[in-house]
Amino acid sequence: MPEPRRERADAARNRAAILAAAEELLVANGPDHVSLERVAQAAGVGKATVFHRFGSRSGLMRALMEDRVRKLTETIETGPPPLGPGAPATDRLLAFLDAVVDLATRNAALVAAYEKAAGEERQAGDVYQYWHRHVSGLIAQARSGLDAELLAHILLGALHSDLVVHLVRRGDTDRLRTTLHELVGSLLAPKAR
């Protein structure tokens, strides 16, 4: 993901207040009841400030999601194994999937709002593009001869399904993790000769 540009102190404060207000409204009211106007009011800024900063509700949800993903990205790039460098590719992929499930579990309302706001544009976003490069690279390292690019789309697409959202909301994340581990284990197991 691109490095964020430096902000003026007042702009950084406004951004933090807007993101915090959006998150609070998401948790309290659900994704269908968060508008730019309500976020602006809760953040103590004008609606024009929110609109100028984020462009739309979709832009606001994307920024909030990217804020949550930034720490995960740092761990992928420089953190300890198995999520960070230094572990076998299969272990890193499993750790990544676990981390995404954890992110979704801790931020269920945000994920739902982000998915709804991003719609078909999700795959063009920086987060998805970064995750896709990471996952496809790990698949290619773990087992050559597979269509790593397509398999990465399929794995990431599975994480965006209504079933996954349903499992996360009802607290069935252990089942989700176990099944993802079984799927990756089967997929990346050495081919029998």
Distance set, CA 119 to CA 61, 70, 95, 159, 161 (Å): 12, 21, 26, 14, 12
Q: Using the 8-state DSSP alphabet, how is residue 76 labeled?
A: H
pLDDT of residue 14: 92
> Structure pTM?
0.75
Mean pLDDT over the full length of the chain: 87
pLDDT at 166: 82
Report the pLDDT value the prediction gives residue 121, as an integer from 0 to 100. 63
Residues in CB range of 158: below 8 A, 6 or more apart: 164, 180
User: How much is the pLDDT for 186?
Assistant: 93
pLDDT digit string, tens, across residues 140-174: 999 999 999 999 999 998 887 777 778 888 889 99
Domains in the chain with CATH codes? 57-188 (1.10.357)
